[in-house]
A and B are shown apart, each in its own frame.
Chain A
Amino acid sequence: MSAVSPMAAMPLDIDRVRGDFPALHQQVHGNPLAYLDNAATTQKPRRVIEAISHYYEHDNANVHRGVHALSIRATAAFESARERVRAHLNASSEREIVFVRGATEAINLVAQSYGRACIGADDEILITEMEHHSNIVPWQMLCEQTGAQLRVVPINDAGELVPGAFEDLLGERTRLVAISHCSNALGTINPVREMITRAHAAGAKVLLDGAQAAAHLAVDVQALDCDFYALSGHKLYGPTGIGVLWARGELLDAMPPWQGGGEMIRQVSFEKSVYAPPPARFEAGTPNIAGAIGLAAALDYLDALGLANIAAHEQGLLAYATDRAAATPGMRIIGTAAHKASILSFELEGIHPHDLGTIFDSEGVAIRAGHHCAMPVMKHFCVPATARASFGLYNTRDDVDALFRAVDRARDLFA
């Protein structure tokens, strides 16, 4: 994978790492759990769970509103979580970090605030055929509201963007390019750096959906030079219900609020309200304080292990699983891009993915079976659904072996 740093990666101390995740140590239907559904959500390390408990046990109070000790502590913890996210993404200012519910909300925020203000009837929004529904539907809604057109970069049978198609579709009407940094259904890592350069040359802004990518590679928003970056805490070993929109400061400064309420105003009267500057302008209402604190703890955890080391570990598992898949009769991998994250989508001849999901579960192997909120990808590959095993930092070759034992079990049962 391109993201692995040229420096030799340090192998993870996998026993210690696994010891950090309480949920991994359980039996499911009499078998040790092999948790291979990390693209849906990841398990949480103890330090994330403890950070959340600590907050509720000691510091719980509303933020930015009280002069009492707990409120001051809660506010400090919440704002230092923002700084933690800034550092992780190498953003230039913590004013560029907006806390949201997750990647979905981040994308909707951009569509409804930036989009409604800056995208008009003659404009085009460019997405790709591999997008998650959350990077399709908000743009369709915006197109309905503004009359803008949605254009779609096609994929090839490896699950990569068709070479040249992006350049062909990018035009002077393109106002915004919204693409996944990494596809959840296929694992494809898109060549976003080059695409951003081209988009900017054409005068378009770029939003990266980093919901998957952020768990597998170090994200540096300044080096990427994108305009918006969306991510979800729960796919990053953090809690659910918290996510981040990073956006360039000058874009955020010019964007109107999208929800009204407390926190997002400077002054309210019945004649007129004056909005607060970013990021508060985009954080109406009491935020997910514990979530932000938990996310910061997750980033501490990830950065201590090192994303390059994590990526190297996961790539080893992906290569091993891919080899085993190639040696399994009737197994077809869906998504064979040259640059992939540790996601193995597949079908097994004669057995529906939904049946695989149940059979695997009986072996303690947790995978996802379905359309992965990417129905256009399913249509491209002419399948109703796929089975998907996705590997995280705590998975081992034993987990991969359990997966293929479950595959054998399914083939025996359906023989």
Chain B
Amino acid sequence: MSDLRSLYEEVILDHNRNPRNYLHKPEGANHHAYGFNPLCGDEFTIHLTLKDGVITDVGFEGAGCAISTASASLMTEAIKGMSVAEADALFRSVHNLLTHEGEAGDIGKLQVLSGVHEYPARVKCATLAWHTLNAALHNDKETVTTE
């Protein structure tokens, strides 16, 4: 299939090879969450430093496929410096980008994840880190699964 490249964009392959903020433990991290996809075994833990409603630092650890790893890596880059409200809005935009349930709007570099929509079996890979972020920000659950 010629459009395999639309799933495995160069940016995604790059973030898979060299994930950003990976194994980085933010100073004063005060929000954490663990996400797990029991179907494929992908698992990530996200650590956040939240100061006065702003994400001042973020890091993640764990292991997963290229889509879930790149999505986590791109996410950490995007949310650093955002307020919780901005991160929540971005979470919804990415969700819309992947599921076409609504308008994604302009989401900059994260647009590279748009190809995932054509691969329904892989949407959960791309959303794992985002659901984990959501849990870390709102401390609602200890473990998130994308099943």
Residues of A near any B CB (own CB < 8 A): 29-30, 351-355, 358-359, 362-363, 369-371, 378, 384-385, 413-414
The verdict on B107 contacting chain A, using a C-beta distance below 8 Å, is no
The interface residues of chain A lying within 8 Å CB-to-CB of B66 are 351-352, 355, 414
Q: Is A413 a contact of B8 with CB atoms below 8 Å?
A: yes
Residue of A354, A363, A370, A414 touching B125 (CB-CB under 8 A): A354
Contact A362:B4 (CB < 8 A) given known A352-B65, A354-B65, A414-B13? yes
The interface residues of chain A lying within 8 Å CB-to-CB of B8 are 355, 359, 413-414
CB of A374, distance to nearest CB on chain B (Å): 12
CB of A372, distance to nearest CB on chain B (Å): 11
Q: Which residues 68-89 in B have Cβ within 8 Å of A in the complex?
A: 69
Q: Is A362 a contact of B1 with CB atoms below 8 Å?
A: yes
A355 to B17, CA, bound (A): 13
Closest to A356 in B: B65
CB of B59, distance to nearest CB on chain A (Å): 20
Q: Is B42 a contact of A354 with CB atoms below 8 Å?
A: yes
Closest to B66 in A: A355
The verdict on B63 contacting chain A, using a C-beta distance below 8 Å, is yes
Show 10 residue pairs from A and B whose CB-CB distance is below 8 angstroms, ordered by the A residue: A354-B42, A354-B65, A354-B67, A355-B65, A355-B67, A358-B7, A359-B8, A370-B39, A413-B4, A413-B8
CB of B82, distance to nearest CB on chain A (Å): 28
A14 to B6, CA, bound (A): 38
The interface residues of chain B lying within 8 Å CB-to-CB of A384 are 40-43, 63-64
Closest to A375 in B: B41
Q: Which residues 48-105 in B have Cβ within 8 Å of A in the complex?
A: 63-67, 69
Q: Is A358 a contact of B40 with CB atoms below 8 Å?
A: no
A13 to B119, CA, bound (A): 37
A359 to B39, CA, bound (A): 18
Residues of B near any A CB (own CB < 8 A): 1, 4-5, 7-8, 13, 39-43, 63-67, 69, 119, 121-122, 125
Q: Is B41 a contact of A370 with CB atoms below 8 Å?
A: yes
CB of B65, distance to nearest CB on chain A (Å): 4
Contact A354:B40 (CB < 8 A) given known A384-B63, A414-B13, A414-B66? yes
Q: Is A385 a contact of B41 with CB atoms below 8 Å?
A: yes
Query: What 9 new A-B contacts, CB under 8 Å, besides A354-B42, A354-B67, A385-B40?
Result: A29-B1, A352-B65, A352-B69, A353-B40, A354-B65, A362-B1, A370-B40, A370-B41, A384-B41
Residue of A30, A358, A371, A413 touching B122 (CB-CB under 8 A): A358
CB of A272, distance to nearest CB on chain B (Å): 44
A353 to B37, CA, bound (A): 14
The interface residues of chain A lying within 8 Å CB-to-CB of B122 are 354, 358
A351 to B56, CA, bound (A): 32
Q: Is B40 a contact of A369 with CB atoms below 8 Å?
A: yes
Closest to A378 in B: B41
Interchain residue pairs A-B with the least CB separation, the first 5: A384-B41, A352-B65, A362-B1, A354-B65, A29-B1
The interface residues of chain A lying within 8 Å CB-to-CB of B119 are 358
Contact A359:B4 (CB < 8 A) given known A370-B41, A378-B41, A384-B42? yes
CB of A37, distance to nearest CB on chain B (Å): 14
A359 to B66, CA, bound (A): 12
Closest to B7 in A: A358
Of A352, A362, A370, A414, chain B has the most CB atoms within 10 Å of the CB of A352
Closest to A414 in B: B13
A346 to B69, CA, bound (A): 21
A355 to B121, CA, bound (A): 11
Closest to B121 in A: A358
The interface residues of chain B lying within 8 Å CB-to-CB of A351 are 66
A373 to B102, CA, bound (A): 35
Closest to B8 in A: A413
A348 to B36, CA, bound (A): 22
The interface residues of chain A lying within 8 Å CB-to-CB of B64 are 352, 354, 384
A29 to B119, CA, bound (A): 12
CB of A39, distance to nearest CB on chain B (Å): 17
A362 to B119, CA, bound (A): 11
Closest to B4 in A: A362
The interface residues of chain B lying within 8 Å CB-to-CB of A354 are 40, 42, 64-65, 67, 122, 125
A95 to B46, CA, bound (A): 57
Q: Is B1 a contact of A371 with CB atoms below 8 Å?
A: no
CB of B78, distance to nearest CB on chain A (Å): 22
A257 to B26, CA, bound (A): 58
